[in-house]
Chains A and B, each alone.
Chain A
Amino acid sequence: EAGVAQSPRYKIIEKRQSVAFWCNPISGHATLYWYQQILGQGPKLLIQFQNNGVVDDSQLPKDRFSAERLKGVDSTLKIQPAKLEDSAVYLCASSFDLGANVLTFGAGSRLTVL
């Protein structure tokens, strides 16, 4: 089966600019996650979707980050305006459903904010 697709793989922007990342989960996976991985740290959950509804966005900085999964398949994570500390790899993952504990990760989108 095809894996979790993410794009772009790399993005360099100036601070205060905006950026968007796209994720296409494994076909049939109802649950989708966005993680932020800062260099030297483990991934941190930003937001979790079940189909097109948000399950958990308690760690999402809502003043600048937004995410949507309008049709319950693809998802977009947006940062506006970006700060230097947003430099990280943004990982998308999916699982069959909320009760399934195995997450499949995409290769990630590396963001550098200058």
Chain B
Amino acid sequence: GAGVSQSPSNKVTEKGKDVELRCDPISGHTALYWYRQSLGQGLEFLIYFQGNSAPDKSGLPSDRFSAERTGGSVSTLTIQRTQQEDSAVYLCASMRQEYNEQFFGPGTRLTVL
């Protein structure tokens, strides 16, 4: 079966522009997570969706970051007015709640010039 997919795989943008990153989770997975990974660093939690519950936004670094999940499936992470420090790999993961094992996508590499 298909795994978690993310698009685009690479995104280069200019400072100040807005970007949208997309995540298609595994069908039937109710939980969806966004993380980011800076060069040589571990993963940093950003936001978590679980079913119809209010998302856990506690990891979003600023109000320039937002995410939504439509219809309990696809999710979009939006970064407004991008800054150079936003450059990182943005990883999405999904999970079936009863298994506690997160399945990660390949990530989107964002470069802000």
Q: Please say whether chains A and B are actual partners in one complex.
A: no
